Amino acid sequence: MRTSKKSKLKISDEELKELEKISVSRTASHRSVIRAKILLKYHRGETVTRIAKDMNTNRPLVERCINKGLAYGVMQGLKDLPGRGMKPVISDDAKSWVLHIACSKPTDFGYSYETWTYRLLKIYIRSQCIEAGFECLQKIDKGVLNGILSKGNIKPHKISYYL
């Protein structure tokens, strides 16, 4: 019988209790329950192939779970690693420019509306962002716009008058 070249999983008593609790939980996510069971079986000395067969899954999944447990710790091994790619970044200057626009009257920018709608504000920001020097706002959408305005506690569609 071939033994694993991976190192043993070091689990403290508290972590062991927590893993056992998660492995039988009915409220924890299914993914966490499966990973907890895998880590417990590996800690007890079962082989990767045996774990994969018992859990009715494949070896790569079991190995990824064990590798995460060894590299980042047992409790972190239950969670997903952060995703790939670069997160979109909107600079603070761009956000303040958006807030400035939202606090101004649409009539000041040539629109006949008395108050901004999210759709109108989005269209204006997309059309004028390059001239203002904020290329990061070219693909701004209603959700991102709502997030920026919510952090500034501004609701342009509910403004009844401008100062």
Whether residues 65 and 101 fall in one domain: no
Q: Which domain holds residue 134?
A: 92-158
Residue 135 lies in a domain: yes
Whether residues 73 and 121 fall in one domain: no
Whether residues 51 and 23 fall in one domain: yes
- Reported as a single tens digit per residue, the pLDDT across 11-37 is 889 999 999 999 999 999 999 999 999
Whether residues 71 and 126 fall in one domain: no
Whether residues 106 and 145 fall in one domain: yes
pTM as predicted: 0.55
- Cα distances (Å, whole numbers) of residue 19 to 44, 46, 53, 69, 118: 13, 16, 20, 12, 47
Closest alpha carbon to 20 in 12, 143, 50 = 12
Whether residues 27 and 73 fall in one domain: yes
Please check whether residue 81 is in contact with residue 71, taking contact to mean a CB–CB distance below 8 angstroms: no
- Reported as a single tens digit per residue, the pLDDT across 67-111 is 999 999 999 889 888 777 777 788 899 999 999 999 888 888 888
Residue 64 lies in a domain: yes
